[in-house]
Amino acid sequence: MICGFARSFGMTVPNGERREWIKPIMFSAGLGQIPDTNKEKGAPKEGMHVVKLGGPAYRIGMGGGAASSRMQDKARADLDFNAVQRGDAEMENKMNRVIRACVELGKDNPIVSIHDQGAGGNGNVLKEICEPLGATLQVRDILSADPTLSVLELWGAEYQENCALLLRDESEGLFKAICARENCPCAFLGKVSGDGRLRLEDAADGSCPVDLPLELVLGDMPKKTFTSAAADLSAAAKPLALPADATLASALDRVLRLPSVGSKRFLTNKVDRSVSGLIAQQQCVGPLHTPLADVGVIAQTHHGLTGGATAVCCSRSRARACALAPLSTRGSGSALGAALRSIASSTPSVTGTGPSAPTAASSTGPMA
């Protein structure tokens, strides 16, 4: 994270209604770039390989969000072991190296389309990767590190560091060679069928546990309409009134407790802010490394002077003025203007060469 801020909010509006965020809200921003040739995924075609890249399946995530979000205790240890969060940094690095090697081949990139695996595991990512043509897959070809996993668990487990992708026939040898070089597992599960159905076959008993028309689950969903109404609260508005027993010390103590005013080190000190070597301006600036930057800046290369800038802002005064209309276009325009001013007013001064050189940015914008 190279840019961000935190806000807390709570107030009683003139009609007596209480509006409040349950906990502090964190706004963060990152910035990256992608070659124009890779900005859109290729469409599936009949006969393409459906491939899984990354680590093997484990009994992970079958407990759902209720397991991963609850407090740990010995009484329900089975739910803790069944939770979603299971990191494998080594496998993630291997998988990313394979993907990067393919991307760096340019026009010879063997990957037609790629989806990262998340909620729903194979049952979600595999049907999405072959939409709308469908595919015929073999469940026993899914790599598994646990021989006791059932077909349901192989299909629904949310093990991480794994992607699904489409390959053309002629790319199979090249892709397998890259995976072997990076010591990253891959599994060829089947091919795109073209009949619009997702079939999951089980070679162990000849059954077909899943036979699903994709149109029923991935077809065009009806659009949802949201209606926002504003109320005129001017008649109920009251002048500002400070507590009678308020002192300078007590007021200062309360103000400095706000995340939007107090120290941001809880936000900036726990994340990587320059891990790529291409971060020209990150959240912390100055000799004291204070988190006051208005803007995040990245370099495009390690040798050039071109890059990109990003800023995130909000419009608190407009939001308070329109407390019952938080989606006000006036507030959105003000926040966008503040972000643009942050970028325009922050001019890093480079005292060396390359993106790793020391930089300094003004702190006059709304993120200061």
The CATH number of the domain holding residue 49 is 3.90.650.10
Domain check: are 127 and 273 in the same one?
no
Calpha distance 298→58 (Å, rounded) = 38
96 φ, ψ (degrees, to nearest 5): -65, -35
Residue 310 and residue 169 share a domain: no
At which of 163, 188, 218 does a domain end? 218
Does a structural domain hold residue 330?
yes
Domain-located, residue 145: yes
Kindly state whether residue 37 falls inside one of the protein's structural domains: no
What does each of the 368 residues of the chain score in pLDDT, given as a tens digit?
777 777 777 888 777 888 887 777 777 766 777 778 888 888 899 999 999 999 888 887 766 555 545 555 555 555 555 666 566 788 889 999 999 999 989 888 999 999 988 778 888 899 999 988 999 999 999 998 888 889 998 988 888 788 999 999 999 999 999 999 999 999 999 999 988 899 999 988 889 999 888 888 776 777 888 888 777 777 777 787 788 888 889 988 888 887 777 776 776 676 677 777 888 888 777 787 777 777 888 888 888 888 888 887 766 555 455 444 444 445 566 677 777 777 777 655 444 333 333 333 333 333 32
pLDDT of residue 340: 78
Q: Which of 192, 147, 142 is nearest to 168 (CA)?
A: 192
Choose the final residue of a domain: 184, 218, 252: 218
- Is there a domain that residue 112 lies in? yes
Say what the pLDDT of residue 164 is. Answer: 94
Q: What is the extent of the structural domain holding 72?
A: 43-218
pLDDT on residue 109: 92
pLDDT at 220: 73
- Give yes or no: residues 176 and 316 share one domain: no
d(CA 3, CA 153): 39
**Domain contains 161:** yes
Domain final residue pick, 159, 184, 218:
218
Contact 236, 173 (CB under 8 A): no
Identify the pLDDT of residue 79: 57
My answer on whether 132 and 276 are in the same domain is: no
The number of beta carbons lying within 10 Å of the beta carbon of residue 241 is: 6
Note whether 149 and 269 are same-domain residues.
no
Give yes or no: residues 326 and 193 share one domain: no
Number of domains the chain is built from: 2
Judge whether 121 and 160 are in contact, CB under 8 Å. no
Tell me the torsion sign for CA atoms 36, 38, 43, 48.
Answer: positive
Same domain, 197 and 299: no
Beta bridge partners of 144: 57
Question: Residue 94: is it exposed, middle or buried by C-beta count within 10 angstroms (0-12/13-18/19+)?
Answer: buried
Residues 214 and 269 placed together within one structural domain of the fold: no
Contacts (Cβ under 8 Å, ≥6 apart) of 302:
277, 278, 354, 355
Q: Are residues 289 and 172 in the same domain?
A: no
Is 35 a domain residue? Answer: no
In a domain, 31, yes or no: no
According to the model, what pLDDT value does residue 50 have?
95
Distance of CA 76 to the CA centre of its chain: 30
pTM strictly above 0.85: no
Q: Are residues 210 and 341 in the same domain?
A: no
Same domain, 72 and 208: yes
Tell me if 251 is assigned to some domain.
no
The verdict on 192 and 330 lying in the same domain is: no
